[in-house]
Chains A and B, each alone.
Chain A
Amino acid sequence: MTHTNHREGTPESLGQDFVVMFMPAKGYNNDAAVVGKLRRALDIYLRHRPVNAGAIKAGYLLADSPEQMKRIIAEDTPMIHAVYTTSAQVEAVLRDLKEADMGISVVVSGPVEEVARLSERAGIRRHSVEFSLGVLGRRDLLAPAHLRPLITMCGHGLISRSLAEEVLGDVRTGRSTPEEGARRLGLQCVCGIFNPERAARLIREAVAATAAAPASGDGEAR
């Protein structure tokens, strides 16, 4: 699954968004020790203050406690993720995961060149890279450009453009704060890969921009 790929936004905004994944390879290293390793990875994640973390079916930090997540992690938990806002945090997580030497694949989604630099600082040589190469086809069907950085933070596509619009409207009219709006969007993303800090910033910027002039971009016609 490419659920952490294809995030949209400006380089500055994407530079505050990193997702770390810890994933056993089915048939290769998902042995009896894997549950303990997944829990240990979560402990390492938490030491470095992620803004979100989670695993499908085991829960996510925006809605569940780490203790609850640890209890539910099981042999069929496919992977565990955490979201950070700085490259220094990710570098520290990588150092700890490298030192823990659990033999499980670790992947970082984020700006490729920044991730290359931080992995080098952590003493890690990249094995392979998946590149996000754009969108082809009927771009007129896409959500407006100011919504896409928000909705593409859930790679499973569970955050609707209507909900993002509603959140922006509520913030614009003072019915909720950007942080409350970001949390509402993040609750839709059940893997725990949504970045609520970046989202709050994006909401604040979008509201400020639309106060000045209507936003424009692909997909306005839909």
Chain B
Amino acid sequence: MRLDKGLCTDCGLCLVTCPVGALRDDGGTVILDLDRCVECHACFRSDRCPVGALEQDELAWPRAVRAMFSDPFGKHPSTQHMGRGTEEVKTNDVTNLVTPGTAGIAIEPGRPGVGASLRDLEKITRTLAPLGVTFAPKTPVTSLMTDPTTGALRPDILDERVLSAIVECTAPVELVPAIVRALREVAGSLDTVMSVAMFFAADRDVDPDADRDTDGLPTPAYFAGLGLEPSIWGKTNMGLGRASQGGVGR
């Protein structure tokens, strides 16, 4: 983003549109803190500036990575999808990314409403990699890795900031307790928050118990036993999808 101070009247109407506080009043002067700005373009789209002083500018690498993750209109080269994530559980009935016995894991530093540096993102990927997770291929985060076996990200992007980024991986269910322990440990070293999600496929061959419901899915007690605080909220794939002959771009 660019704030044209030749046009800006310091009226301050734009300030509330910025999710990360990059637009701020500095003693009566409106400034745009480019280090803090994540290039989500929410200020520009809000159309609050009465004189058109906020402009979207062409972003060079590595700053362009901010918009790729923060602006939902940004299309990732890795996924060819707009937005910062992938299909994950939403098309699991077709892709079978996660089957019984496997957990899908989505860790999102910066969310909700805080923002994150990619250096903090790398702390998470480097924590998960040695545990034996498989980073989901063709995701925006995995595409930034120089070495998925260590979780190392390309060094030229580490000083960039984003609204959030989603680390997506899969692991055998048996590894979930160790993964949660490691996440809780690395959380203490972050200068941000991270939202935690996991997804599982129904497995009607297992008997229900305290940890598994009648569809073989984890219960709140299972997650609470891991030290997590499960919400009542989640995303349920209804199993209505199927592959066709003409899918393109896999």
**A interface residue numbers (CB < 8 A to B):** 1-8, 11, 14, 21, 23-33, 56-57, 76, 78-79, 94, 97-98, 101-113, 115-116, 119, 124-139, 141-143, 148, 151-152, 155-163, 165-166, 187-188, 190-191
Least CB distance, A178 to chain B, in whole angstroms = 18
Q: Which of A32, A129, A159, A187 has the most CB of B within 10 A?
A: A129
Q: With A23-B87, A126-B215, A160-B16 as known contacts, state yes or no: A28 contacts B202, CB within 8 Å.
A: no
- B243 & A29 in contact (Cβ 8 Å cutoff): yes
- A133 & B231 in contact (Cβ 8 Å cutoff): yes
Q: With A8-B112, A25-B91, A25-B243 as known contacts, state yes or no: A56 contacts B82, CB within 8 Å.
A: yes
Helix, strand, loop or mixed for chain B's interface?
loop
**Residues of B contacting A113 with CB < 8 Å?**
232
**Residues of A contacting B85 with CB < 8 Å?**
1-3
Instruction: Give me the 5 closest cross-chain CB pairs, A-B, nearest first.
Output: A27-B250, A1-B85, A31-B246, A127-B239, A105-B241
Give the B interface residue count (CB, 8 A). 90
**Residues of B contacting A125 with CB < 8 Å?**
202, 215, 239
- B94 & A129 in contact (Cβ 8 Å cutoff): no
- B236 & A119 in contact (Cβ 8 Å cutoff): yes
- A98 is contacted by which of B190, B240, B250 (Cβ under 8 Å)? B240
Residue B210 at the A interface, CB < 8 A?
no
- A134 & B229 in contact (Cβ 8 Å cutoff): yes
Bound-state Cα–Cα, A126 to B213, Å: 12
Bound-state Cα–Cα, A138 to B195, Å: 11
- B199 & A129 in contact (Cβ 8 Å cutoff): yes
- A110 is contacted by which of B90, B113, B228, B233 (Cβ under 8 Å)? B233
Helix, strand, loop or mixed for chain A's interface?
loop
- A27 is contacted by which of B187, B188, B247 (Cβ under 8 Å)? B247
- A128 & B237 in contact (Cβ 8 Å cutoff): yes
- B199 & A23 in contact (Cβ 8 Å cutoff): no
Q: A30-B247, A127-B238 are in contact. List 10 more A-B contacts (CB 8 A).
A: A6-B233, A7-B233, A14-B233, A26-B247, A30-B248, A110-B233, A128-B236, A135-B193, A157-B70, A163-B16
- B233 & A166 in contact (Cβ 8 Å cutoff): no
Identity of the chain A residue whose Cβ is nearest the Cβ of B116 in the assembled complex: A137
Per-position binary interface string of chain B over residues 97-108, scored 1 when its CB falls under 8 Å from any chain A CB and 0 otherwise: 010000010101
- A76 & B19 in contact (Cβ 8 Å cutoff): no
**Residues of A contacting B82 with CB < 8 Å?**
56-57, 78
- B198 is contacted by which of A126, A127, A130, A157 (Cβ under 8 Å)? A130
Bound-state Cα–Cα, A104 to B90, Å: 10
